[in-house]
Chain A
Amino acid sequence: MIPKPITDQGQRIIRLHDAKFSYDPGVDVLRGLSLIIRSGEYVAIVGGNGSGKTTLAKLMNGLLRPKSGEVEVLGKDASKQSVAELSKIVGYAFQNPDHQLFCASVEEELAFGPQNLGCSHDEVWLRVEYALDKMGLGHIRKSPPLTLSLGERRKISIASIIAMDPRVLILDEPTTGLDATETSELMATIRKLNGDGRTIILITHEMKLVAEHANRVIVMSDGHILVDADVRGAFSDSDLLRQSRLVPPQISQLAHSLSEDGISKDIISPTEMVFELMRLRGNGR
């Protein structure tokens, strides 16, 4: 079955309109959010701890229901659908993989979601193979997940969501506790998933990842959306940065400092910096 080519790039998948949420009466965690996520986007959600990032993500897949306002998934009211139904469209990989993994082998772990969705035996195996392949887990397919490293456990937890073939993949701080190699491997894999047309929503604290991977950044603060802009614009706008109390990636800071020497302010990755320097040197000659 997989991969069904996703050909509806730009279609509206998730729409929030003035969505409010509170865990305890009187203490609003989300104070009326409106946003639209379109098919194929790579969106980063950033903001301090307690700013409402995870709560927002849980609204999108129905784990939490808005106290008021609307949440729509593929044009249908999310509050009228069960989490199980929504999980076919919006997959959510939890921050702590240990809250998710319980099976005796990686294969079984990946099969659990498709089985819950009622897939046929053959379909389940196709999806397991697909997810193993996508996340590069083939060599440990028979291993018990809980004995593997954190990096591997996190990949398994993401693979277990991919096996459900969701159009949107929400990743909640997927790189926490990973070393540099594990992080870049995981990010490269996520990029490939986005390349296949899957919509990625990345919750993270690492601005470097945001700058190098996402196209759009949503900055949350105190239950509000402070900024919703394309990444390049957000990181080169120093007023916006100051207001949202974000520290841009070092390469952007460097570009800012060197802007008087002719370096463009909107550089957000080392590769861009290399090209920019080459361009300048070329001019100098």
Chain B
Amino acid sequence: MTAFVDLYSEGDTFLHRLDPRVKMIAVLTLSLLAFILSGLTNLLCLLAFVFVLMALARAPWAKTYFAMKFVLRFMALIVIMWPLFDRSGTPVLASLGPIVITEPGVLNGLTSAVRVGCLAMVWYILIFTTAQRDLVRALVKMGVRFDFGLTLAITLRFFPSFSMVIASIMDAQRARGLDFSKGGLMKRSKNYVAVLAPAVVTSLRTAQALSLALLSRAYGARSDRTYLRELRMRPLDYVALAVVISLLVLPALAIYVLGMSL
């Protein structure tokens, strides 16, 4: 029924309490780290580290599985498809006519899949442990204009309501005898006009009402607005920041200055 759910879960773990700015920087550094590491073992270590973080955040399995279902399928696809197109190196593991499977091909496929897994998990942990308003708050604090922050917040906030509106519109048209599962491609795409048109009109009406509501609550009256929740870095936040930065900087130095292969 719900096409989109907010993945954030209320919680009181170390990761939930961490300053959202630190978490966002951590996500960026860990993502970069996943890109600069090329060894499968190292990437698996990173994946293990991410799993430890996930355990720290006490993410319930059902929710994690729901969020990761698509990533897992994508990872499986990479593992299967990569060796078919990457025929570099030896030894050859199998060959059947034009299809040649090599050991480096398989390894590269696994490496890329683990890399994608790391990236997805890291971002999932951020979204899982950080309320949307805190994400926006952190962006604004880091210099993003408040208008943009608010726009982002509203977009995220209206995702669930919008998916409910779409569901309601589809029901309303089904009640008028429209069958979405029948007909050819042309007929089916035409059917969706009956959904899109009311959806656009409804969202424009909502947007207009919302902008008036914002204005009537003095939005933009002063540039030096105050905030309900001030973000303040605590000692632990600095420690965490130092750890995540060194997690990126040390391997980067080893790779690009010392020329090591990690």
- Genuine A/B complex: yes
Residue interface bits B1-19, CB-to-A below 8 A is 1, else 0: 1000000000000000000
A91 within 8 A of partner (CB): yes
Interface residues of B in 76-115 (CB under 8 A from A): none
Residues of B within 8 A of A146 (CB): 201
Residues of B within 8 A of A221 (CB): none
Residue interface bits A189-217, CB-to-B below 8 A is 1, else 0: 00000000000000000000000000000
A220 within 8 A of partner (CB): no
Distance of B49 from chain A, by nearest CB (Å): 35
- Interchain CB contact under 8 A, B198 and A94: no
Residue interface bits B168-181, CB-to-A below 8 A is 1, else 0: 11011111111100
Distance of B186 from chain A, by nearest CB (Å): 15
In this complex, what residue of B is CB-closest to A93?
B175
Q: A94-B171, A99-B165, A100-B169 are in contact. Are A84 and B178 (CB under 8 A)?
A: yes
B142 within 8 A of partner (CB): no
- Interchain CB contact under 8 A, B198 and A101: yes
Q: Tally the A-B contacts, defined by beta carbons under 8 Å.
A: 67
Residues of A within 8 A of B196 (CB): 102
In this complex, what residue of A is CB-closest to B191?
A116
A160 within 8 A of partner (CB): yes
Question: What's the Cα separation between A116 and B182 when bound, in Å?
Answer: 11
Distance of A214 from chain B, by nearest CB (Å): 22
Residues of B within 8 A of A100 (CB): 169, 172-173, 176, 198
Residues on A facing B (Cβ under 8 Å): 23, 58, 61, 63, 82-84, 87-88, 91-92, 94, 96, 98-102, 112-113, 116-117, 146, 160-161, 164
Counting from the closest, the 4 A-B pairs by CB-CB distance are A116-B177, A102-B197, A113-B176, A100-B172
